[in-house]
Amino acid sequence: MPKTANLHIRTDPEIKENAEQLFLKFGITITDAINMFLHQSLLVGGLPFDLRQPRYSPETEAAMQEARDIMSGKVQSKIYASVAEMNADLDADLDADLDADLDADLDADLDADLDSKV
């Protein structure tokens, strides 16, 4: 079947370049890849892949909600006078997290030690 129809699409130049480099490794052009996509779509009667919402970890979900709350004004974000002040606050948070983790590990080790002696 002769190819006579033209398809004009817009895409990010970096995406196009990366796709061309990828398809080149398979010995095909981006036009070949798009034609394969169209043929496969017709063959399966839809998109040749599943569309799904991305799933994030609970920590990521919480961070995204916190960002939404800050943007909407529900939560006041911290304001720092300098980068040094921000880094000191981050270091204090990290130290507190590490101390909590260390305490939990020590408690678990102590419990295991006591259990083994009983």
d(CA 118, CA 109) in angstroms, rounded, equals 14
Both 72 and 91 in one domain: the answer is yes
d(CA 20, CA 33) in angstroms, rounded, equals 9
Q: For the chain, what is the domain count? A: 2
pLDDT value of residue 27: 96
d(CA 66, CA 26) in angstroms, rounded, equals 43
pTM of the complete model: 0.45
Both 5 and 35 in one domain: the answer is yes
What's the domain range around 7? 1-49
Please, which residues have CB within 8 angstroms of residue 48's CB and are 6 or more apart in sequence?
A: 37, 40, 41
23-38 pLDDT tens trace: 999 999 999 999 999 9
Both 39 and 90 in one domain: the answer is no
Q: What is the DSSP letter of 29?
A: -
d(CA 38, CA 1) in angstroms, rounded, equals 15
pLDDT value of residue 85: 94
In the chain, the percentage of residues whose pLDDT exceeds 90 is 60
pLDDT over 90 (residue 48): yes
Both 45 and 82 in one domain: the answer is no
Cβ–Cβ < 8 Å for 29, 23:
yes
